[in-house]
Structure 1
Amino acid sequence: MQQAPWQTKWPERISYGMSDAADNLVFQMMTTYLLFFYTDVYGLSASSAAILFIVARLADVVESLIIGLMIDRTHSKWGKSRPFFLWYALPYVAFAVLTFVTPPFGATGKLVWAYVTYLGLGFFYTAVNLPITSILPTLSQNTKELTLLGVVRQFGGSDVQIIVAVFTLPLVAYFGQGNQQKGFLLTIAVFGGISLILIWNTFFQVKERFTNPEHAHQSWSAVWQMLKQNQPWLVMSVVILLYWLTTAIKNQTTIYYFKYLQNDEGLVPWANAFTFASLIGVVLIIHSAGRWGKKRTMLGGMGLGLIGQAILALGTTLNVLPLIFTGTLVNAIGNGLIIGLVSIMIADTIRYGATLGIQAEGILASTDDFGVNVGLGLGGLITAGLFHLSGYAANQTQNLATQHMIVLNYAWLPLLLYLVMILVLLLYDDHRIQAALTKERE
């Protein structure tokens, strides 16, 4: 049986990949530095930040479903997903900048400002990010090409994710000249301007080609029936949530670990530099997925992530920086394999849903943003909540309980979550998808 011909060319592929790069310019600052910004720069207590994060994530659960339904109900000359890049890029960037503004208000006013801006940022992030996943299965019907597009997307996203992780604090120091409020604001303004250009470029360069009018725009009851039958989608939804929960807990704690336990905040960019190794994992996907399949490749990535996290945990126990950095590098390679396959495997579940008579790429792709938002929210809640319970005090020497909490979040909780991820992914039925797609092509 022959594969469908390839439909995209490199300008479109690169533009598609840059959409994820655009979102990560802001998103990575939010996941890695926003909790630190709120507690140590903006002036919120850890408990206030924890409540804000959980409220925002509860809102995002609803927003993901709303945006997914909006995509599935969109009728335009540009398609279903593509218009969202045009419509929502500017408000996304505007709210990103406003989130890092420190207004001259009292405690209550600043808390209200944080709620309004962060909740707005979460909504518009979903509006520009969810379409990246939902549009993928409409770009081509060639399985190998969809894998390549997913890899290009993740390569772009991971590149920028690492750049932001490594260079944010140096840029904050450069722009702020000792004033971190000014430094964070100018840094996000630069990232936001670049993000806006890249998102709009995606709108102009990509093209939706494969939307079946008979399967699109179905009733909610029909979509719901399909969701209940789509076992691979249900499993991937849980995997995505667990991955981002792990990422949030670890990333948000990194700066605290080096600031308060190593007494050197300047080590953060060095530690984050080792996450460049995730690009190795992303590049390996094309060969490994073709040879061993996507499920086994992702399981391999989770195994590497687990090994790397174990090395890192040992490094924190022995207080040996080379071990911590080695663990970060190995863990990053595994993460590249995992996250690089997420959008590709979600695209497979969307195509599988179409074999069941329902093309609902919006609602099925919403699981990606749903997992991201809930995982980040729970991660922020766990981190900030544990810090509050242990007596965390910003910019002071931390008590022993808080030091233990920092190590728990940075090393041991992520280790446990990798084990849970592996057990969940073992339930993923890739044979069901392949059988359905093969039958459809016959």
Structure 2
Amino acid sequence: MKTTTRWSTRWPERISYGLSDAADNLIFQMMTTYLLFFYTDVYGLSPSAAAILFIVARVADVFESFIIGLMIDHTHSRFGKSRPFFLWCAVPYVAFAILTFVTPNFSYPGKVAWAYVTYLGLGFLYTAVNLPITSILPTMSQNTRELTLLGVIRQFFGSSIQIVVAVFTLPLVALFGHGDQQRGFLGTIILFGIISLILIINTFVHVRERFANPKIAHQPLKVVLSMLKHNQPWIVISIVIFLYWLVTAIKNQTTIYYFKYTVGKVGMVPLVNSFTLAALIGVLLILRMTDVNSKKSVMLQGILVALVGQTVIAVGVYLNLMAVLFAGVFINSIGNGIIIGLVSIMIADTIRYGASLGIQSEGIMASTDDFGVNLGLGLGGLITAGLFHVSGYVANRPQNSETLLMINLNYVWLPLLIYGAMYLILRLYDEERIIKEIKG
């Protein structure tokens, strides 16, 4: 879609904006990919205790995302509405990330209590530093192509770090731990935390909020909620975001179990995760594809690519062909890159559409992104841990046939069903309404 609106940002700001997602993902990907494994196989919690913790955290997130969004919408600062949160919350976020991977020598109830305090605190602070990345985007420019570029840059860095964490975490755990996984995970999160802190502060220093309408920027909550009921595109994309993070959590958390207990080669996890590098291909394709297609059409294509890749993974699993499985991960990751690369861009469009309805509420509207992330992550962890619990999973032992069946269910079949649901729901997204109102 072409536009004549002037571009507002320059490359230092664009790169700094993108690095904000890299900063958060250093810690977030440790949570999504390895925290369940850390709790069950390193820290010593039972799968049922981990499952309950995850669902409690997700109930808390129902309120946290909304609270942070409300705080953003009611922030009056010389730095803007979203930008101050990078400064205020960076240090507490990193501190709680490190504490989450500390393993105190408590009794079992004490260990459970420690996990609750640290994980719940980390979840709240993750929302406080991540939600502003989405809410600040529509205020940085009024140029549709520039917003797309900024969203692509953000996701390029975010996906790059996701791959770094997936590939290098276990080798770093081995390097820092010398056979002691407790010490190894702690050393790894300290390294990631220091880098994350530097990048978050860098984002605060360089990004700017330029386009805001004070007359509609601080509307009462009742007025905002009334507008949301009429913002059909926002409702649809919110559901799609939740489903994306649900399937991502289920797959990421199951990967290490699949290769440890089904394949019997946990050392292959970094190798298979390296194939997710293909997500960067999908992210970079967005700029070219959205030149000639609508964002909705491009995301639908991304979902189909991810679905095809997941089907190839299924073939590799049931024929026990690792080369086919790796090819499926590669294809699936391209589709995932397209999907996630468009998420913040399409949310920005729905925020701008909301402003055309007379309400500028980027905080609450952007909270759907973090809400979807948190709820998807939590339910994914609950589903994985819950299924393992009912099947009789025992950490660090050969698994029974029921548990192996549950691992395959999580790794193959549930993702296939969720991708199908994403495709059907996204078809309801009314992009023409947005274009008409914001004159994109």
Query: Residue 354 of structure 1 corresponds to which residue in structure 2?
Result: 355
TM-score by length of 1: 0.99
Query: Residue 69 of structure 1 corresponds to which residue in structure 2?
Result: 70
What is the distance in 2 between the residues matched to 1:269 and 1:398? 22
Note the C-alpha offset of 1:61.
1.1
Note the C-alpha offset of 1:169.
0.2
Letter in 2 for 1:31: T
Contact 2:80–2:209 at 8 Å: present in 1 too?
yes
Contact 1:39–1:394 at 8 Å: present in 2 too?
yes
Query: Residue 113 of structure 1 corresponds to which residue in structure 2?
Result: 114
Query: Residue 298 of structure 1 corresponds to which residue in structure 2?
Result: 299
1:416 and 2:417 aligned: yes
Note the C-alpha offset of 1:28.
0.3
What is the distance in 1 between the residues matched to 2:406 and 2:324? 20
Query: Residue 209 of structure 2 corresponds to which residue in structure 1?
Result: 208
Residues 193-244 of structure 1 show CA distances to partners (whole Å, capped at 9, x for unaligned) of 0000000000000000001001100011110111001000000000000000
Identity of matched residues, %: 69
What is the distance in 2 between the residues matched to 1:70 and 1:117? 22
Residues 82-139 of structure 1 show CA distances to partners (whole Å, capped at 9, x for unaligned) of 0000000000000000000000100000000000000000000000000000000000
Moved over 2 A (4+): none
1:39 and 2:40 aligned: yes
Letter in 2 for 1:322: A
- Does the residue aligned with 1:427 lie in a helix, a strand or coil? coil
1:370 and 2:371 aligned: yes
1:16 and 2:46 aligned: no
Query: Residue 247 of structure 2 corresponds to which residue in structure 1?
Result: 246
Note the C-alpha offset of 1:160.
0.3
1:195 and 2:192 aligned: no
Residues 318-363 of structure 1 show CA distances to partners (whole Å, capped at 9, x for unaligned) of 1110111000000000000000000000000000000000000000
Unaligned runs of 5+ in 2: none
Query: Residue 157 of structure 1 corresponds to which residue in structure 2?
Result: 158
Contact 2:66–2:364 at 8 Å: present in 1 too?
yes
Letter in 2 for 1:220: L
Query: Residue 260 of structure 1 corresponds to which residue in structure 2?
Result: 261
Q: How does 1:146-185 map to 2 (within 5 A)?
A: 146-185=147-186
What is the distance in 1 between the residues matched to 2:3 and 2:396? 62
What is the distance in 2 between the residues matched to 1:177 and 1:40? 17
Contact 1:3–1:143 at 8 Å: present in 2 too?
no
Note the C-alpha offset of 1:177.
0.4
- Does the residue aligned with 1:135 lie in a helix, a strand or coil? helix
Note the C-alpha offset of 1:146.
0.2
What is the distance in 1 between the residues matched to 2:322 and 2:408? 14
1:285 and 2:305 aligned: no
Contact 2:3–2:143 at 8 Å: present in 1 too?
no
Contact 2:3–2:145 at 8 Å: present in 1 too?
no
Letter in 2 for 1:424: I
Query: Residue 88 of structure 2 corresponds to which residue in structure 1?
Result: 87
- Does the residue aligned with 2:266 lie in a helix, a strand or coil? coil
Letter in 1 for 2:187: L
Q: RMSD of the alignment, in Å? A: 0.7
Q: How does 1:319-398 map to 2 (within 5 A)?
A: 319-398=320-399
Query: Residue 407 of structure 1 corresponds to which residue in structure 2?
Result: 408
Residues 58-87 of structure 1 show CA distances to partners (whole Å, capped at 9, x for unaligned) of 101100000000000000000000000000
Letter in 1 for 2:170: L
Aligned length, in residue pairs: 439
Note the C-alpha offset of 1:2.
4.9
Note the C-alpha offset of 1:3.
2.2
Query: Residue 138 of structure 2 corresponds to which residue in structure 1?
Result: 137
What is the distance in 2 between the residues matched to 1:305 and 1:204? 37
